[in-house]
Amino acid sequence: MTSPSLDGATGESTSAKSRPPRHPVVTVMNRRALIWAVPVAFVAGSVGWALEGPGAGGAALIGGVLAIVAFTAGIWGIGMVLNHLPGVEIVGALAVFLIQLLVLVSAVVLVQDQAWLNSRAAALGLFATALSHQIGLVTGYLSARMLIVDTPLPNDSM
């Protein structure tokens, strides 16, 4: 009788050495973060439009999209570290965080004196979206189903 393998298909178990481990928690966290961040980016753009006109609305939306891209790329980077570089998770997370910080600060510095962009609206859209993205990551992590210990029980038939 065959038992379900780690990837859900029936057949022989796939060894950990033959493929990198999957981290479904990262996928759950990324989805939940996007569920939180995308509406906030659109709300920030709408609020900017309503308060100061279409220039501020577009700037807030640009800031929100920049935050979504930077943080989603960071989650993808963490997933790559977890899948391909076991044992260096903390160093990888620090590197990803520093790259995200560098990209976001560089973007703010580059556009802060541009006449075509309302920098205050862009910064507020970026901040609101980044904060909601982080809230989504935390709620995704807390709601993800994670296997803590995989030990067969005495009466386990499989």
What is the extent of the structural domain holding 90? 24-143
Instruction: Specify the pLDDT at position 69.
Output: 93
Give 146 or 120, the one with higher predicted confidence: 120
Split at pLDDT 50, 70, 90, the class of 4 is very low
- Rounded alpha-carbon distances, angstroms, from residue 130 to 24, 44, 82, 125, 157: 22, 12, 23, 8, 47
71 in Cβ contact with 46 (< 8 Å): no
Q: Would residue 108 count as lying in a domain?
A: yes
Structure tokens at 55: 């220039």
Residue whose pair of structure tokens reads 């493929």 in the numeric block? 19
Split at pLDDT 50, 70, 90, the class of 13 is very low
Read off the pTM: 0.74
In this structure, what DSSP letter does residue 10 have? B
Phi, psi of 17 (to 5 degrees): -75, -25
pLDDT in tens, 69-91: 999 998 888 888 888 877 788 88
pLDDT at 10 over 80: no
Q: Would residue 157 count as lying in a domain?
A: no
Task: Count up the domains in the chain and report the number.
Answer: 1
Q: Would residue 7 count as lying in a domain?
A: no
pLDDT in tens, 18-53: 555 566 778 888 899 999 999 999 999 999 999 999
Instruction: Specify the pLDDT at position 88.
Output: 83
Instruction: Specify the pLDDT at position 158.
Output: 59
Structure tokens at 128: 């609101």
